[in-house]
């Protein structure tokens, strides 16, 4: 989760603050400005974090012994799972299902940023 959420939220909130400072010269965004600004950071979060989410979900849906644990890091098989996905599907394997996720982020995650 950390490998997914930290980079994703870093991308989301840094892009949000950058866009907010670009569009707004006053303290807070209006509702219309929020509707314009918020979808991009929400989608950026998922674009950055989606490969790690695919790995996490793959680990969760397979048996406990499907992936070798790293010898030095307590990774739960994260790196071996990533290697297996890449060997089987190439780089595209980390983006399977991204389109519907971005569509959902466009609405649901944008509402969360507007509330923020």
CB-based contact 27:78 (threshold 8 Å): no
Of the pLDDT bands very low, low, confident and very high (cuts 50, 70, 90), residue 41 is confident
User: How much of the chain exceeds pLDDT 90, in percent?
Assistant: 29
What is the DSSP secondary structure assignment for residue 93, as one 8-state letter?
A: G
Of the pLDDT bands very low, low, confident and very high (cuts 50, 70, 90), residue 106 is confident
| Tens-digit pLDDT profile for residues 54-73 | 999 998 898 877 888 877 77
Q: Is 59 helix (H, G, I), strand (E, B) or coil?
A: helix
Reading the block at residue 61, the tokens are 């849906």
Q: What is the pTM of this model?
A: 0.73
Q: Which domains does the chain have, with CATH numbers?
A: 2-115 (1.50.40.10)
């Amino acid at each position: 989760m950390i490998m997914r959420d930290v980079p994703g939220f870093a991308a989301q909130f840094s892009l949000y603050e950058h866009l907010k400072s670009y569009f707004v010269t006053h303290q807070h965004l209006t509702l219309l400005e929020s509707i314009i600004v918020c979808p991009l950071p929400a989608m950026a979060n998922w674009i950055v974090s989606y490969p790690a989410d695919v790995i996490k979900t793959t680990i969760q849906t397979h048996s406990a012994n499907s992936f070798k644990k790293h010898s030095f890091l307590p990774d739960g098989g994260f790196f071996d799972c990533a290697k297996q996905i890449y060997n089987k599907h190439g780089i595209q394997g980390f983006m399977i299902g991204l389109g519907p996720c971005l569509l959902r982020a466009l609405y649901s995650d944008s509402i969360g940023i507007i509330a923020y």
